[in-house]
Amino acid sequence: MSAEKKVAAYICKGCGLGDRLDTDALVNVAQKEGKVQLARSHDFLCSAEGIGLIKNDVASEGVTHIMIGACSRRAKTEAFYFPQNAVARANLREGVIWIRPDTEEARETTQEMAEDYIRMGCAEIKAMSAPAGNPNTGSSRALLVVGGGVSGMTAALEASRTGYPVVLVEKSGHLGGWAAKLWKRIPVHEPFKAPADTGVTDLVAQVQADPNIKVYLNATVAKTDGAPGRFEVQIATESGSVASEDIGAIIQATGAEPYDANKLPELGYGKSADVVDQAGLEALARAANGGPMLKPSNGRPVRSVAFVQCAGQRDASGQHLSYCSGYCCNASIKQAMYFKDNNPEIDTTILFTDLRTPGNGEDFYRSAQEKGVVFSKGKVASVSPAGDTLTVNFHDLILDDKEAKLEVDLVVLATGQVPNSGVNIEAQSKPQAEGQEEGGAAEVEAKPISILNLQYRQGPDVPQLKWGFTDSHFICFPYETRRTGIYTVGPVRRPMDLAQAREDATGATLKAIQAIENAHLGRAAHPRSGDLSFPKVRLEGCTQCKRCTVECPFGAIDEDEKRFPMFNESRCRRCGTCMGACPVRVISFENYSVDTVGSQIKAVDIPDEFSEKPRILILACENDAYPALDMAGMKHNEYSAFVRIIPVRCLGSVNTIWITDALNAGYDGVMLMGCKHGENYQCHFVKGSELGRYRLSKIDDTLKNLNLETDRVRDLEVAITDIEHVPAMINQYADRIVEMGMSPFKSF
């Protein structure tokens, strides 16, 4: 292949394109205005013959850059895969003919739309180069698992069986974690009749017998440096020695602990030894070893017991946990069976507001009913000692919130799970109250000890959500964290039971293996898995403003000794947030840059102010908004022919110069379509849309300086499901532009 750049444009006539569009005119636009060296059309470009045509031009004509005018870039990705060439796509099918009516009146504007997309595609491809891949790859295939509970042991075994060596670090002197403290577990198979063996002993034996798993007990991670494929991890042991391990990816399986029942004195905890949490009940069951359980206060057999659900959970006051831990109802049913299986005469009552039994439907619940467990819908107000018994005061939710009482020997509080996530690096330290002495009762609780001790500029642990669970895109990438190559699994990620934790561990292990292989090949991890591009920076133009290092959602940018940004490509997700943040525009990717988008904006033919043909630029997130637009096209949902759509990697990658350039060039309006942000964000890059919108919130000042209406720029939250809604939003905005009138910059 020639080292000289040679651009070729290929226009497809298939899928109705040849019937609806003048493809000869499109070839002419590519040649004359797009200034490509070679332009061809083909009846079915994605056919073997069409692909052969392109490959032959690459081999014999020296084509290095390929522009394909056909279907969406999201379609036919395998057919149009030319890894040694730069490739751009002009969306003529979903983006033009499928969203325009097939009428004589619409033919002119439909053709204009297609010609603009050809101009844009030609401009984009000339600003691109074929990504060569990240040269700073890592070769380690070992997986580090931090935490030796059921989640961690399952992850270790799954990785080992797949052929990957594992280093397992457990802070205690034995494996098993929380599950090792259980007497029995919730059943996971039909008929869901009785508590089952935990299986922990067998898991521990499998781990200890596996030569591919190296286990460190009484050990912690002292330092984690590097990146996927080349993490350098130091492990501190109880003896004081420090071992060093080369690691490809990391799984944090540090689990959870019960919510502190000492915070629930109104429910009797701390006032009576006979009020225990679910962990305390498991300890009583293990001590009984299948025999009668004894009251902690006097050692006599328990004759009656009440289980209080949602103790310190689902709390709207903000004093306790706001969430439901999910597993607690099944756990209480299981523990109620401990009593009934030993002695059916024991009075066993579960007080609940809502009963949730994931994983076994109502079978386990029905089995408990058959054994005589009483389920009562009631909200407990207080638990108070009454001599040798306990009085449970509750509101009966069946009998119109009527106050009721229950006298029992033992009360079990279902307190829920609190994750062991490590240091919350984004939490603000609480100032000490005035007059408060260090060590006093009102002193703020000590911060947790770091688990991973990451040597990242952004902090020593992975970012957390509001309640301490590790941050992830819950829907699309549930195991990922905001640190590439580091995955969380089990209750540290979200509340769950043992069955869910084991399933979780398997999924996270597969993602960790994918990260190892991607790092070895110099490719990006999800959501742009396989992308060979990585960020480059022209340091001679850098002003050291630190916006890129601060805004990177994934901790991929550090600073060198001269305080210039230092990009760690293996950590990078290729979202482009750094590119959007850079005020001097010195950050770019080979196949995505300020120039690739800016050149497309400038390539559009802008009609004069008298033509009554406005031009509206849409910058659409490729993860939600652009797929929604594609699917709208598939359903033939029509929208305005005056829009020109450019997919962007994330709203966070949008540089405000694009908006300024568009308005100065005579565009009548700009629409930005990004994912939902905030607490229930949908952004595939976690913080990208939020950071982008923060930057874009200042556009109003620019518009006022240009004497333009603020409505000329509109920011919309678009989900991938907004297939019907997006065309309507576009049409409404196009009507608004007509109402405001054409941009005054058209006359310049």
pLDDT of residue 472: 85
Q: What is the pTM (predicted TM-score) of this model?
A: 0.91
Ranges for all domains in the chain classified under CATH 3.50.50.60: 143-255+420-426+445-521, 258-417
Least confident of 291-305, 560-574, 614-628: 560-574
Quote the Cα angle for 729-101-109, to 5°: 85
Q: Is the pLDDT of residue 1 over 70?
A: no
Which among 377-386, 687-696, 704-713 has the top mean pLDDT? 377-386
Q: pLDDT tens, 727-744?
A: 999 999 999 999 999 988
- Count of alpha carbons within 13 Å of 173, Cβ hemisphere only? 2
Residue 568 has pLDDT above 60, yes or no: yes
Percent of the chain with pLDDT over 70: 97
pLDDT value at 245 more than 50 = yes
Higher pLDDT, 465 or 431: 465
Q: Which pairing describes strands 557-559 and 565-567: parallel, antiparallel, or unpaired?
A: antiparallel
Q: According to the model, what pLDDT value does residue 435 have?
A: 41
- Name 565's bridge partners: 559
Domain 1-130 is found in CATH 3.40.50: yes
Quick one: average pLDDT of 562-579?
A: 93
Spatial separation of the C-alpha atoms in residues 309 and 201, rounded to whole Å = 29
Question: 159, 166 in Cβ contact below 8 A?
Answer: yes
Beta strands (DSSP E) in 51-177 are 65-70, 86-91, 143-146, 166-169
Q: Which fold would CATH assign to domain 143-255+420-426+445-521?
A: FAD/NAD(P)-binding domain (3.50.50)
| CA–CA separation, 626 and 641 (whole Å) | 16
**311 vs 322: CA distance, rounded Å:** 11
Query: Once rounded to an integer, what is the mean pLDDT over residues 485-500?
Result: 95
Residue range 351-358: mean pLDDT, rounded? 93
pLDDT of residue 748: 57
Q: Is the pLDDT of residue 428 over 70?
A: no
Beta strand pairing status for 389-396 and 231-237?
Answer: unpaired
Using one digit for the tens of pLDDT, what is the confidence trace for 5-44?
999 999 999 999 999 999 999 999 999 999 999 999 999 9
Rounded to an integer, the average pLDDT of 287-309 is 96
Residue 471 has pLDDT above 80, yes or no: yes
d(Cα 618, Cα 120) in Å, to the nearest integer?
13
| pLDDT above 90 for 706 | no
Q: How much is the average pLDDT of 215-233?
A: 97
pLDDT of residue 699 exceeding 90, the answer is no
Q: Answer yes or no: is pLDDT of 477 > 90.
A: no
**What pLDDT digit, counting tens, does each position of 113-157 carry?**
999 999 999 999 999 999 988 888 889 999 999 999 999 999 999
CATH of domain 258-417: 3.50.50.60
